[in-house]
Chain A
Amino acid sequence: MNKTFLKRITDAHSWLGLIISGLLFIVFFAGSISLFRAEITQWSMQPHFEPTKGAFLPVSEILKIAIKDRDFDPKEHLTLIKPSKHIPYYKAYVDIQHQPGEEDHDALLIDPVSGEIVASIDDFFLADFIYDLHIDLNIPAGKYIIGFVTLFFFFALVSGIFIHARKLFINFFKYRSKHNKRSQLLDMHNVVGVMSLPFTIMYAISGLIFNLVIIYQIAFALVLYKGDQQALLDDAGYQAIEPQWVDKTWNKPDLDQILQKITNEYGTLPRMIRVYNYGDESAVVHTIGKIEQAFAQKFETAITVKDQHTLFTKDAQNPNTLVQGLYVISQLHFGDFAGFDLRILYFLLGLGVCGLIITGNLLWIEQRSRQRNHSPKTLKFVNNFTLWSTGGIVLATAVSFMTERLLPVNLTTRPDYMVYSFIITLALVACLLPLSRNKKVFLGYLLTSTALLLLSLVVIDWIMFANEIINLWQQGINTVIGLQIGFIFLAIILAFAGIKLTNQKHNPDVLENEMIDTCELAG
C-alpha cells in the first residue's frame, strides 16, 4: 500500500466516521441495552401485577377473550405471542375496524391462567422504544437512514483494517498510557477496533441485510422476476397467506387440536400463532416457532382450520436456505442463541464499540486542532456534538427509565410521556452544552447525574414495590432484582468516571492542559 492510498483512505475513514458517529453511537448504545429487552419489559411490568399460577387456558379461549367486546376485523389477522420466561402473558394483537390514519390494532397482555386482560402492550413501551431507537430511531424512514449509517460503518471497518494492517498484530497489546493524549486515544481506538473486529463485521453485514435488503429486493424483482415481487418472495420463503373469505361461519373449529399436533411434532407450542379469517370457514392458522434444543432452527406452518390441510411447512425437513440463513444471521445479531452470559459479552463488546466511536471523534478533534488552517467553529461544533450524542443519550436513556418507573400504570398517555422525557433531556443537554466552558467537567456532570438517576431508580423501586419485589423473588422471578444489580454496577462505573472528570477542574496541571485545549478550540 502506498502513501497516497493510505492518506486517501484515512481521510475517508475519519470524515465518514465523524459524520455517522452520533447515529452510530445511538445504534450501538441502544442495541446493547436492547439485548436485555425482555428483562427490561419484565422490570417495567411485573411489579404492577400479581403473577398467577396454574394451568394455562386453551389458546382458543385466549383468542375469544382477545376479541370480546372489540370492533375486531375478522378479514384481517388475530395474532398471539405465547408467554415467555420474562413476559409471562399472552401478547394479543387484534386487528380492528378503523378509518385511514387511525390505529389499526389493539395490543393486549392476557394472563394465560385467569384470562384477564392485564394491560395494553404499549403501556410498557420503554424496552420497545430503546429497541426502535436501535433499528429505526423511532422516525419514518429511519430504517434506511440507519442502513446507510451501517454501510459507512462497514466502510470504516474495512478502511480501518487497511490503515492499521501492518500493525494489526504487532500493536495488539500496545497501550501507551504514559504518552501524550493522542497516543493514548489512538491505542485505545486501535485495540478496541481490532479486538471487536469479528463482532463488528458480523454486526455491519447483518445490520445491512436487515435494513437495506430492499435495494436488492427491488432490483431482483424487476430484472430476475420481471416485476413479479410475490414470485421473488415465494422463492425467498415468504409465502403469502391470502385465504378467500367465504362468508360462512366456521363449524366447531378445533384450533387447539391443530396446535397440539404442531406442539407434538416440534416439542414446543409455536411462539407466534396467527389466525387469518377468524370465524370464517376459510380460516387459516399460521404458526412460527423455535426449536429450543437446536441452534438457529425454526419451524413455520400454515394449516386450514376447516379440514386441517397443510398449505406449507418450513422446517429442517423442508428447508429454505434463505429463511434459515437469515435466521442464523438474526440469532448471531441478537445474541440469543446461548445463555445470559453471552448477552453480557455482547453488551460489553457493544459498549466497547461506543468507546471506539468516542475515541475516533476525539482523535479527529485532536488532529484537526493541530492543523494551522483549522476552523475553531467546526472544532467547537464537533466537540459539542460528540458530547451531546454520547453523554446526552446516556443521560436521556436513564431519565426514560426513571419516567417509566414513576408514571402511574393507568395513565393512558404513559408511553408518550416516557418518550417526551427522553427528547426533553436531549434538548436540555443541547441547550446547556454551549454554556459549558470545560467540556470534560460537563461530561463528568452528565455521567454523575446518570449514576445518581440509576441509584435513585433502585431506591424508588424498593419504595414503590418492596413487597412485590420480595414476592417475585420468592417465586423464583429474579429479573427485577437482577436488573437493579445491573443498574448499581453501571452507576458505580459511571460515578467513578464522572467524579474523576469533574475533579479535574481542581487539578492545576489538568486545568492548565484544559486551558490550552480551550484556547486551541477557540482559536
Chain B
Amino acid sequence: MWPKSTAAIFGGCLVSISIMLNLNYILPTAVDTRLFIGLLCAFPLWITMMVWCYVSEGGLQAWKRCGSVLLVSIGINAIFVLG
C-alpha cells in the first residue's frame, strides 16, 4: 500500500501540475479564467492518477504509469516553455 501511496501522492501531484501548466498554455481564454479552470481541474486530475496508481499491481507499476504520463506531459511543457 505504501509504495502505491507514494506514487499516488507525489506522481499524481506532478502529473496534475504538469497537465495544468499545459492547459494554461493551450486554453484561449483570459488569464484569470485559465487560472480558475486550472484550479478546478487540478484536483480531480490528481485523484484520477491516484485511482490509476492504487489499482496497479504494486509501487513499481504505479510509478511506471505516472512516469509515462508525466514524460509526455513534461515534453509538451518543454515545447511551450522553450518554444
A: residues with CB less than 8 A from B are: 4-5, 8-9, 11-12, 15-16, 148, 151, 154-155, 158-159, 162, 204-205, 208-209, 212-213, 215-216, 219-220, 223-224, 235-237, 320-323, 325-326
CB atoms of A223 and B46 under 8 A apart: no
Give me the 10 closest cross-chain CB pairs, A-B, nearest first: A12-B54, A325-B36, A321-B32, A321-B33, A208-B43, A219-B17, A322-B36, A322-B32, A8-B55, A235-B31
A1 to chain B, nearest CB (A): 9
CB atoms of A322 and B17 under 8 A apart: no
CA distance A223 to B77 in the complex (A): 9
Given contacts A12-B4, A216-B20, contact A158 B55 (CB under 8 A): no
Q: Which residues of A contact B81 (CB under 8 A)?
A: 223
CA distance A308 to B45 in the complex (A): 46
Q: In chain B, what residue has the closest Cβ to A216?
A: B42
Q: In chain A, what residue has the closest Cβ to B1?
A: A15
CB atoms of A158 and B47 under 8 A apart: yes
Q: How does the 8 Å CB contact mask read for B25-39 relative to A, with 1 for contact and 0 for none? A: 000001111011011
A312 to chain B, nearest CB (A): 14
Q: In chain A, what residue has the closest Cβ to B55?
A: A8
Checking A151, A162, A215, A322 against B35 with a beta-carbon cut-off of 8 angstroms, the contacting residue is A322
B73 to chain A, nearest CB (A): 12
CA distance A219 to B38 in the complex (A): 12
Given contacts A151-B46, A205-B40, A208-B43, contact A219 B32 (CB under 8 A): no
Q: Which residues of A contact B44 (CB under 8 A)?
A: 205
Q: Which residues of B contact A12 (CB under 8 A)?
A: 1, 4, 54-55
Q: Does B6 contact A (CB under 8 A)?
A: no
CB atoms of A5 and B55 under 8 A apart: yes
**How many B residues touch A, CB cutoff 8 Å?**
31
CB atoms of A223 and B43 under 8 A apart: no
Q: Does B13 contact A (CB under 8 A)?
A: yes
Q: How does the 8 Å CB contact mask read for B43-76 relative to A, with 1 for contact and 0 for none? A: 1101100110011100000000000000000000
Q: Which residues of B contact A9 (CB under 8 A)?
A: 51, 54-55
Ordered by A's residue number, 5 sampled pairs between the chains whose C-beta atoms are within 8 Å are A159-B54, A205-B40, A205-B43, A321-B33, A321-B36
Q: In chain B, what residue has the closest Cβ to A1?
A: B55
B9 to chain A, nearest CB (A): 8
CA distance A474 to B2 in the complex (A): 61
Q: Which residues of A contact B4 (CB under 8 A)?
A: 12
Name, among B5, B33, B35, B77, the residue most crowded by chain A CB atoms within 10 Å (CB to CB): B35
Q: Which residues of A contact B36 (CB under 8 A)?
A: 321-322, 325-326
Q: How does the 8 Å CB contact mask read for B1-27 relative to A, with 1 for contact and 0 for none? A: 100110011000100010011001000
Q: In chain B, what residue has the closest Cβ to A323?
A: B32
CA distance A321 to B35 in the complex (A): 9
Name, among B20, B21, B46, B54, the residue most crowded by chain A CB atoms within 10 Å (CB to CB): B54
Q: Which residues of A contact B1 (CB under 8 A)?
A: 11-12, 15
Q: In chain A, what residue has the closest Cβ to B39?
A: A209
Given contacts A215-B13, A216-B38, A321-B36, contact A162 B46 (CB under 8 A): no
Q: Which residues of B contact A223 (CB under 8 A)?
A: 21, 77, 81
B82 to chain A, nearest CB (A): 12
CB atoms of B32 and A320 under 8 A apart: yes
Q: Which residues of B contact A322 (CB under 8 A)?
A: 32-33, 35-36, 39
A150 to chain B, nearest CB (A): 9
B36 to chain A, nearest CB (A): 4
CA distance A234 to B20 in the complex (A): 19
CA distance A219 to B77 in the complex (A): 12
CB atoms of A216 and B47 under 8 A apart: no
Q: In chain A, what residue has the closest Cβ to B31?
A: A235
CB atoms of A224 and B13 under 8 A apart: no
Checking A16, A154, A235 against B43 with a beta-carbon cut-off of 8 angstroms, the contacting residue is A154
CB atoms of A237 and B54 under 8 A apart: no
CB atoms of A220 and B24 under 8 A apart: yes
14 extra interface residue pairs, beta carbon distance < 8 Å, beyond A155-B50, A162-B51: A8-B55, A11-B54, A12-B4, A151-B9, A151-B47, A151-B50, A155-B51, A158-B47, A204-B43, A209-B40, A219-B21, A223-B81, A224-B21, A237-B32
CA distance A208 to B33 in the complex (A): 19
CA distance A4 to B56 in the complex (A): 10
Q: Which residues of A contact B35 (CB under 8 A)?
A: 220, 235-236, 321-322
CA distance A219 to B19 in the complex (A): 12
